[in-house]
Amino acid sequence: MLDLLEKMGEHWRAVVLAVLLHVLVAAFLIFGIQFFHDSASKGNRGRSIIEASVVQASAQSTPASSEPAQKQPQKPDQQQNEQATAEAAKKQAEAQKAAQQKAQQQAAEKAAQQKAAAQQARQEAAQKAAQQAAAEKAKKQAAEQKAKQEAAQKAKQQAAQEQAEKEAAEKAKQEAAAEQARKAAQAKKQAAEKKAREEAKAKKKAAEQKAQQEAEAKKQAAEEKARKQAEAQKKAAAEKARKEAEAKKQAAEEKARKEAEAKKQAAEEKARKEAEAKKKAEAQKQAREAAAKADLQKALAQEAAGRQNAVNQKAMARYVQAIQDKVEGNWIRPPGASNISCKVKVTQLPGGQITNVQLLGSCGSAAIDRSVKQAIYKSDPLPTPPSDNLFQSEIEFTFKPDQ
Amino acid sequence: MRHFDFQFARRLMLVMVLLATAVAVTACGGSKNIRNNGGMPEAGMQGSNGQSSGMGQSRDIDVRGLEGIPKGDRHLFTDPNNPLSTRTIYFSLDSSAIPSKYSNVIQAHAQYLANHRNVHLRLEGNTDERGTREYNVALGERRAESVKQALVLSGANASQITTISYGEERPAVLGHTEAAYAKNRRVDFIYTNQ
Amino acid sequence: MKYKNLQSLVVGFATLCLMAIAVSPAQAALQVDITKSSDSAIPIAIVPFGSSQGQQMPVDVAQIASNDLASTGLFKIFPRGNMLAKPSSPDQVNYDNWRTQHVDNLVVGSASPNGQGGYKITFNLLDAAQGQSVASYQLNAGPNQLRQAGHTIANLLYQRFTGKKGYFLSRIAYVTVTGSSADKRQFRLVVSDYDGSHPSTVYSSQDPIMSPAWSPDGKKLAYVAFNVYKGVSSVRVQDLATGKVRTIASGSGVNGAPAWSPDGNRIALTKSQNGDSNIYVYNLSTGQMQQLTHSSSIDTEAAWSPDGQKIAFTSDRGGKPQIYEMSSHGGQVQRLTYDGQSNQRPDFSPDGKLLAMVQQSANGFRIAVMNLANNNVRVVSDGPLDDSPAFAPNGQAILYATQGSSNSLATVSVDGKAKSTLSQAGEVREPAWGPLGY
């Protein structure tokens, strides 16, 4: 490589030519890209092309936005296409973005709805439970009251019956006392009274027992009913809570799932990109290696087949120097002329005879132009190359003297 | 003191030399070359008058520059014993400062001017040839002015004195040597009728 | 992806190209860089002009033109004695003969009476290397204008080769001193052609004459005259055509260093008071004198910038004399020179970009040129006692006086390369270069 560099140093003219050719190639490539790009923007090519045109579009967007479109009237189609492509891409990107945003929004809304529903259910359940509890309490109260009333009525009726019976017994007693013998009547009456008393007592006792039993039953039934109702309510609330929790759990799970999915996707994307970069680096490395290899091959080629070539280059350098020396020796610069810089194209015959001298622009003044032209004509014939294959019919002189 | 001693010794020498010259002049019949030598008084030092005897230095008696002095006083200016006989002041390179050795000369001329208010003195400044001509004219003028100031300070009236500078145009001695240059950096005293 | 492809493509192509270049010479033009030029003078032959009737012209215009070009130091004149033929028109030229003698440029021409006592002169500039005429000229000369015609031919050729106007029709003024003994010296103010030929005395005196200065129109001279008997100096303005003299400053002390303003209406000069020399401006139309500097030092040798806005001058206000610059209305003083021991007597180039001066160094007094844009100073003369630099009206040369072994005038190109001496009998000093003259 160093050897090559040295050689390049020796044959710097070749290097200059190489650089010039590089520039040409670069220019070709740039035009080539333009071409590809044109077709890409016209047709429907793959994703990568769209990406490329987007890059270009963004690069162009600044002048395109700051300057009117008619700035380049020679290429309206291309520009329009480029713009259209750019816009389409932009729109697509925007749509994608919008969709993504919408999805995200929807998910969020759904979650919120679910959350709200769960809350409502919770609230409803709590309300129902509260209402039921209130109703139960009220029923119980009502039942108790009824039972009490009933019991009170029964007792009243009993009391009324007792009174009636008492009145009847009194009447009988009076009748017995009055009509027959008082003793008997009395005894009878006493017995009757006793019996009535006992009967009333028993009857009262039975009624009491019966009312008690009835109230008890009633109470038991009400209690059972309330219990059953409370139980049902409780059961419903529990069911609701369960359902709610389940919904919540589901939402959370969905969210977690989604997050995980997104994470996974990002990781995957990252991995993909890394892999791509690695691949790219690898490709570049390969290209470099290839280039180095090519250099080496070239060097080898130069060294092997190009022993002759090196000789040629040396000869070429000597040839150029001979021309330079002759023209410099023949050039009398006008006094006081400064900032001289110009190129002169000269065509020659193989014998060095000059056939044409053409100034590519003025050297600074008519006097300098004259001196430059004369220097070249005075150098006619120009030195000839040591071998014919080094001959070139065109020579471009650059007049740029040190001040 | 040292300064005084030096001056004294110098004066003694001068007196001896001038005495010898006087003797020589007298001996040769007192012939006087009164032709002014074109503003080059120092040229006389070369002994352009070949008639002088070989025994000592000869000096032309130059009346140029004494036209404005009454004839009766002119001997004062030609008497080598008299400081008035020194009518040229020499300067150092690029300097307009009067060397201190000329203090008695300045004193004598100032005194004479003070005592003769109708006498008019023209001071002519000169330089050596180094430097540009117009700059040298200005430098010569500065020298003349410096002598004028000294005379005025010692009693002369400013209105009695005018100045002019010839720069390097009127060299006393031709030549491109340091010795010639030393003779040309000077101010000449010209007593004029005007 | 695409970028990667592009890169590999470039690399591949570059490799290909390099290999292609290495293997065979490129098909593009051979590149040759010219970075130096020959220092030699331009070789030119001016063949004696032919005349129609075969009769000799009273003036050898070809010789005048040859001398003109030679005096610049920029041209190498091919000697007539070496000419194999003396063609007077392009069709008579055998280019090979000239080429073999390395004559790149050839001038051939002829003159014929124009019927009015004068001549019609036609001539061609031929490029011997190209083997063809590159320019042809025609001019009419009056009965006594053949000498001017010769200078005009030189001007045309000079401009063709240098791109600058020639100064071969301009005149110079200078002071001569004759008489070896001090009491027989004669000062003369002389005006001559630029090369010292055809001198004519403008003013003569046994007393010193100094500092001639041309009016911008070339019709008048200002100068300093002394009267030794009276002990006074004066600045005079003399009309060259009429000889009429006008004294604009006089008296005891200094009256010197006149310099015309570019518009010709004012003269800057130096006057002294109590030994202090200062610069004044005298208005020629109003007769008014305005003092520009008020220093107790020496301020003298004023020089106007070509635009009339500034005055450069010599001053020892800083000790040694140096060159300063001020507004032409006074004020805004700034020092310009710092090189050497001292610098004196400035002169602006016609384009105002350069300042010539006398620079004192260990090598004596030499002419130096300062680039006012960057203050770079280049010494262009050899010394040891050079004085009075004066730019040529085209700015390409500087005329100056040398003292020492010989007192004469010399010219040097502004780059210091080409020097030539103007021969003139006696002691010559203080040259001043007049306007272009056409």
What digits encode the pLDDT tens for the residues C240-250?
A: 999 999 999 99
C274: pLDDT strictly greater than 50: yes
> Is it true that domain C171-433 has CATH number 2.120.10.30?
yes
User: Which of A316-325, B124-133, C5-14, C283-292 has the lowest average pLDDT?
Assistant: C5-14
Same domain as B148, residue B178? yes
Q: Does A13 touch chain C (CB under 8 A)?
A: yes
C207: pLDDT strictly greater than 60: yes
Q: For B39-119, where are the alpha helices, taking DSSP H only?
A: 74-78, 103-115
CA distances from A101 to A76, A94, A108, B167, C55 (A): 36, 10, 10, 100, 109
pLDDT for the residue numbered A313: 82
Q: Does A366 touch chain C (CB under 8 A)?
A: yes
Q: How many helices (H) and strands (E) does chain C have?
A: 4, 31
Taken in order B181, B187, B193, B194, is the CA torsion positive or negative? Answer: positive
Residue ranges, CATH 2.120.10.30, chain C:
171-433
Q: Does C34 touch chain B (CB under 8 A)?
A: no
Residue % of chain B over a pLDDT of 70? 68
Whole-number Å distance between alpha carbons of C408 and A43 = 89
Find chain A residues with C-beta within 8 A of C1's C-beta: 48, 280
Both structure tokens of A215? 């109230």
Quick one: pLDDT band at residue C344, thresholds 50, 70, 90? very high
CATH code for A307-399?
3.30.1150.10
- Per-domain boundaries in chain A: 16-101, 307-399
Whole-number Å distance between alpha carbons of C134 and C154 = 16
Smallest Cα distance from C256 to chain B, Å? 7
With a CB cutoff of 8 Å and minimum separation 6, the contacts of A72 are A79
Mean pLDDT of chain C: 90
Residue C188, H or E segment = strand C186-193
C228: pLDDT strictly greater than 50: yes
Same domain as B76, residue B168? yes
Q: What is the mean pLDDT of residues B71-100?
A: 94
Domain that holds residue B75: 65-194
Whole-number Å distance between alpha carbons of C312 and C293 = 12
B32: pLDDT strictly greater than 50: no
C393: pLDDT strictly greater than 50: yes
Count of pairs with CB atoms under 8 A, one residue in B, one in C? 123
Whole-number Å distance between alpha carbons of A307 and C398 = 59
Quick one: pLDDT band at residue C130, thresholds 50, 70, 90? confident
pTM of the entire structure? 0.62
Residues C21, A21: C-beta atoms closer than 8 Å? yes
CA distances from C125 to B82, B167, C88, C138 (A): 78, 51, 11, 12
CA distances from C193 to A91, A282, C77, C176, C308 (A): 86, 84, 21, 15, 27
Q: Does A16 touch chain C (CB under 8 A)?
A: yes
pLDDT for the residue numbered C278: 97
Contact C240, C432 (CB under 8 A): no
Same domain as B150, residue B120? yes
Residue ranges of A 38-97 with Cβ closer than 8 A to chain C: 48, 52
Smallest Cα distance from C195 to chain B, Å? 23
Residue C132, H or E segment = strand C132-141
Whole-number Å distance between alpha carbons of B60 and B47 = 8
Same domain as B30, residue B77? no
Residue ranges, CATH 3.40.50.10070, chain C:
42-162
Residues C301, B135: C-beta atoms closer than 8 Å? yes
pLDDT for the residue numbered B169: 94
pLDDT for the residue numbered A240: 84
CA distances from C437 to A162, C128, C164, C206, C393 (A): 172, 32, 15, 31, 9
Instruction: Report the topology of domain C42-162.
Output: Rossmann fold (3.40.50)
Same domain as B85, residue B1? no
Q: Does C374 touch chain A (CB under 8 A)?
A: no
Domain end call among B42, B63, B84: B63
Same domain as B56, residue B73? no
pLDDT for the residue numbered A310: 75
**Below-70 pLDDT ranges, chain A:** 1-19, 21-144, 146-194, 196, 199-200, 203, 207, 211, 302, 304-306, 403
Mean pLDDT of chain B: 77
* Between A335 and C186, the higher pLDDT residue: C186
Smallest Cα distance from A63 to chain C, Å? 23
Whole-number Å distance between alpha carbons of A150 and A166 = 23
pLDDT for the residue numbered C8: 54
Which three-class secondary structure state does DSSP give residue C253? coil
* Between A52 and B124, the higher pLDDT residue: B124
List, in sequence order, every beta strand (DSSP E) within B34-172: 88-90, 120-126, 161-167
pLDDT for the residue numbered C58: 86
Residue ranges of C 225-284 with Cβ closer than 8 A to chain A: none
Q: What is the mean pLDDT of residues C54-59?
A: 78
Same domain as B97, residue B59? no
* Domain of residue B130, CATH code: 3.30.1330.60
